[in-house]
Structure 1
């Protein structure tokens, strides 16, 4: 798709890869632009039921490319809300959560700073147990500002997140699992992620998208609003061709044939 991000779609699963392997997929201006372009491409696609986000080479994403950002050359305008509620740096992380389809991050090697915030935007996170992770910004005298605080609501224990942010200490994929920051650890995170993606792709895509909409609004709604949202999404799904196909396929013990 670009020289920073590639997208390949097979059977409803988008294989999205950061392709700056020589720099451990570090975030430079071209990478920010490439990720934003990938999100824009996926936003309106109906042939994609789930996306898997990974990094080529030795790392998922090593965070900001400090050399390319030095001297104010990044072009990032932090006060500019260029993508809805977010600036560009925030959008490359929060944009995955805003996509209609689920996103699974397959994480290996290194996921530091902006790289950790990037994986936080996924719905599901599969990490190699030895992945080196850190919320690194206070090491540089800064705060996480790529949407991390918004994405971490309801994710893991807040006191643990506070400690990780305040100290900027490194932790492993195994530790991240114990903190509730990743979903699974696996020695083959990409293969595990693709397996889960294929399973999701075999469900009614309209039901999966409806469930994601409810999850996305969960922490901003009171109980009454959540109950209304459940009912509204269910009413919209009941009796539709894909919902009927779900029942018929399960009763007939066959693979469903959904219409996206």
Structure 2
């Protein structure tokens, strides 16, 4: 497996770093598989309350290393096939695995955030970025479309006109524009510090409520009202029962 994705723990936070700085963290297929594996390692850690996703070196990531990926077409084909029980292929799961986590995921972005890397950042729950960071839905430059869950995440964050504009032109945009259209959460001088502050604030809340809120919005965001209300009830009931059970124990 790749050694270009690092995982460290600090208190209640997990830090995941893309670590191929000499290539602006260009994503390889091995790195995509490692992202999936690392997310799985974090998922069941009840002591971890938030995940901070970063990139080492001059950029968060310049996106998929197309030249390296295309040097092994058989690997692309093998990783393009979705797993039936998961519904995603490796390219998609490298991003969507972070949406599956019960913990909130905060992407800390600086420098380039292009193509597949942008789709990875969009799959996080929050994006804190430096003023000089740049974003591009770059796939059109290679005659492709965003297919690493970008269609799902873009549609939740920006209007269809902005999604099409970004996708059809592949033009890079700056942090101020990205924030204006809803692509990023915050633009700040020290996004890692701000991400850590947010992680610590969230850690003061019930982990069950935080996980349920994430699951609620992921499942209901584009559902019908009837379906949304049903999801709300199904998500809330275990929390109510947990609260009642805990109160009962405390009253004894």
Give the TM-score of the pair, scaled to structure 1: 0.87
1:34 aligned residue: 34
Residues of 2 paired with 1:231 and 1:151: CA distance?
Answer: 25
2:221 aligned residue: 219
> What whole-Å deviation, never above 9, does each CA across 1:99-156 have from its counterpart, x for those lacking one?
1211110000110111111101001111112101110010111111111001222211
Give the TM-score of the pair, scaled to structure 2: 0.90
Aligned to 1:240, the other structure's residue is in SS state: helix
Alignment of 1:1-260 (within 5 A): 3-73=3-73, 75-77=75-77, 79-82=80-83, 84-238=86-240, 240=242
Residues of 2 paired with 1:73 and 1:41: CA distance?
Answer: 29
Aligned to 2:221, the other structure's residue is in SS state: helix
Residues of 2 paired with 1:75 and 1:242: CA distance?
Answer: 51
Residues of 2 paired with 1:113 and 1:187: CA distance?
Answer: 24
Residues of 2 paired with 1:56 and 1:163: CA distance?
Answer: 29
Residues of 2 paired with 1:140 and 1:231: CA distance?
Answer: 45
Q: Structure 2: which 5+ residue stretches go unaligned?
A: none
Q: What is the count of residue pairs matched by the alignment?
A: 246
> What whole-Å deviation, never above 9, does each CA across 1:66-94 have from its counterpart, x for those lacking one?
22123444712365113711110111111
Relative to structure 1, is the Cα distance of residues 37 and 79 closer, same or farther in structure 2, using a 3 angstrom cutoff?
A: closer
Aligned to 2:64, the other structure's residue is in SS state: coil
Aligned to 1:153, the other structure's residue is in SS state: helix
Aligned to 2:8, the other structure's residue is in SS state: strand
Relative to structure 1, is the Cα distance of residues 2 and 233 closer, same or farther in structure 2, using a 3 angstrom cutoff?
A: same
Residues of 2 paired with 1:184 and 1:5: CA distance?
Answer: 25
> What whole-Å deviation, never above 9, does each CA across 1:200-246 have from its counterpart, x for those lacking one?
1111000000101101112342212222222332231126369969x
Residues of 2 paired with 1:74 and 1:34: CA distance?
Answer: 18
